[in-house]
Structures are given as structure tokens and as C-alpha cells.
Amino acid sequence: MGKKELDTRFARFGTVSFAGVTQVNDFVDYLEDGRLMGTKCNHCGLYFFPPRAHCCQCLSGSPEWFEVTGEGRLVTYSTLHYAPAGFQADLPYTIGLVDYGQYKVFGRLSPSLGEDALHVGMAMKAKADKTAAGQVTYVFEAA
Ligand SMILES: [Zn+2]
């Protein structure tokens, strides 16, 4: 066997990709196929989003992928007028936390949703998306 190539798929994710190499790089391939995925521990059944390769509860390293589908409920949201380095060009943008019952997903809300259209508890659904620079990402829309 030759030397294994570096798997840098995660560099294709998000406005600023903080992790070029992870153990959950399939996340990016799924997202390019339009599917937002998390992981579920095969041993104890705990759900993870963002996906994890190892379970923090039972330390098992055998996760399976699950798709974030259906409707979640908006738990909280905030519109940013100041941003971390690398995100300034996107301002203002709104981030939120959506509860799907067995897991919660953090992410941006669609820019088409004005703040007047938002309220805690509203039904949301996740959608694969692209940034202006062509990176893969996901956003929440009203369900
Ligand atoms: Zn576990």
C-alpha cells in the first residue's frame, strides 16, 4: 500500500472551515448530495450534531449516520451585527438552535426570513445550501 492521501473534504464546508481534517468528513459529501447528517452511537443510542466519530457517553467508536429530516422547533435565535474573523462580509445574519427531539441542530437561519417572521417555538426545517463563495453549508427555513 502507498501512503494514504490526506482527506481534506471538510475544507469545503462553511464560510470559514475550522477543521480541514476530521473523522467525520462524510458529512461534507452528504451535504453536497443535499442531506444534512449527524451521527448516532451504535452502542448507547446517543445522537450527535455536529457529528462525532466517538461517543462522549460510552466512548464507543462505532457511530452510524442519520439524516436531519422533518421539522424541528426554534429554541432560540440571535441576529449578529458583529462577527468573528472571516464572517464579516455576511453581516447581518441570524443564527438559531432547532430542537428535533432527540438532538438539537445549531445553524444559520435563511436570510429570506426577516426577524419579524421569527418566533421561539416555530417549526423549522434544515436545507442544504451553498455560500456565496460556493462552499457547502446548510440553513434553516420556516417549515
Ligand atoms: Zn455511546
One domain, residues 63 and 76:
no
The Å distance, Cα 126 to ligand 1 centre, comes to 25
Residue 42 has pLDDT above 60, yes or no: yes
> Three-state SS string across the chain, please?
CCCCCCCCHHHHECCCCCCCCCCCCHHHHHHHCCCCEEEEECCCCCEECCCCCCCCCCCCCCEEEEECCCCEEEEEEEEECCCCCCCHHHCCEEEEEEECCCCEEEEEECCCCCHHHCCCCCEEEEEEEECCCCCEEEEEEEC
The Å distance, Cα 122 to ligand 1 centre, comes to 31
Average of per-residue pLDDT across 79-103: 93
Range of the domain at 33: 9-67
The Å distance, Cα 120 to ligand 1 centre, comes to 30
One domain, residues 120 and 133:
yes
The reported pTM is: 0.88
One domain, residues 113 and 134:
yes
One domain, residues 137 and 112:
yes
The Å distance, Cα 69 to ligand 1 centre, comes to 22
Over residues 62-87, the pLDDT tens digits come to: 899 999 999 999 999 999 999 888 88
Residue 2 has pLDDT above 60, yes or no: no
The Å distance, Cα 101 to ligand 1 centre, comes to 18
Please report the pLDDT score of residue 21 as a whole number.
73
One domain, residues 77 and 122:
yes
One domain, residues 48 and 98:
no
